[in-house]
């Protein structure tokens, strides 16, 4: 079995995708069935990956070389077609993809990949990509993004504000020296930045930000 450092970039990418599926079960004691479902792979596949990880570590998650590999390889166009079909909604079964691939392969005179080859290509897809394709951006954001982010669709929908106390002294209303505050308000949509000097109170910020 090759060491992790001996794997090429493509093999390391496969290892990383498979580890992302297994990591919750290995590190956080998440049931393997739940981790497999979140990763969009069959439980039996996850069990096989986990067994290989327990024996060979991360390097064990690389695709095992097969006898005769390289003698007959899947045409790159068929690989792209398999990946594209696996990302459409509703998601077709591996058996359906295999049948459709056979028709395309015959029409072009290519070798038709078998069920196991198609299944391997489908399960090697990035779980984040399949989540985005099948469950939409909201589920993807909630599941994979570390920070919750929102983007405004129109002006004045979201405002951002920040305050800082300036290193200068001015006379306040009572004639006493005081350090003024600079508040910057940013409209998330237009990126307009009105700045003004005022105490950082919620009422001040709300009133000033609402003025067009």
182: closest CA among 157, 159, 208, 156?
208
Splitting the chain (212 residues) into consecutive groups of 10 residues, what average pLDDT does each group show?
66 85 88 89 89 84 60 77 90 91 89 88 85 83 63 78 84 87 79 62 53 48
The answer on 81 and 133 residing in a single domain is: yes
Residue spans of beta strands (DSSP E) within 59-190: 159-165, 170-171, 177-178, 181-187
| Per-residue model confidence (pLDDT) at position 96 | 93
With 0-12 / 13-18 / 19 or more C-beta atoms within 10 angstroms meaning exposed / middle / buried, residue 113 is buried
CATH number reported for the structural domain that contains residue 116 in this entry: 1.10.10.60
Beta bridge partners of 183: 163, 196
Q: Does residue 108 belong to any structural domain of this protein?
A: yes
Q: Kindly state the tokens that stand for 83.
A: 């990946």
Residues 21 and 48 in one domain: yes
- In terms of residue numbers, what domain contains 108? 76-144
Domain termination site, one of 117, 144, 171: 144
Sign of the alpha-carbon dihedral angle for 133, 138, 139, 142 = positive
Q: Exposure pattern of 34-73 as b/e (b: 16+ CB <10 Å)? A: ebbebbbbeeebbeebbebbeebebbbbbeeeeeeeeeee
The domain tally of the chain equals 3
pLDDT of residue 194: 59
Same domain membership, residue 168 and residue 137:
no
């Amino acid at each position: 079995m090759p060491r992790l450092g001996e794997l090429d970039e493509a093999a390391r990418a496969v290892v990383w995708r498979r580890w992302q599926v297994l990591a919750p079960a290995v590190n956080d004691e998440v049931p393997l069935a739940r981790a497999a479902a979140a990763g969009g792979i069959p439980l039996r596949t996850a069990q096989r990956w986990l067994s290989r990880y327990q024996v060979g570590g991360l390097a064990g998650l690389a695709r095992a070389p097969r006898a005769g590999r390289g003698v007959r390889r899947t045409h790159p166009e068929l690989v792209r077609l398999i990946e594209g079909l696996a990302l459409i909604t509703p998601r077709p079964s591996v058996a359906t993809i295999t049948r459709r691939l056979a028709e395309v392969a015959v029409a072009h005179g290519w070798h038709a990949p078998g069920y196991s080859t198609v299944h391997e290509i489908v399960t090697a897809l990035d779980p984040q990509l399949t989540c985005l394709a099948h469950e939409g951006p909201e589920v993807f954001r909630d599941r994979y993004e570390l920070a919750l982010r929102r983007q405004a669709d129109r002006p004045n929908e979201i405002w951002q504000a920040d305050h800082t106390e300036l290193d200068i002294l001015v006379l306040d209303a009572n004639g006493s020296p005081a350090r003024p505050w600079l508040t910057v308000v940013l409209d998330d949509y237009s990126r307009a930045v009105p700045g003004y000097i005022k105490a950082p109170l919620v009422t001040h910020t709300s009133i000033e930000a609402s003025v067009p």
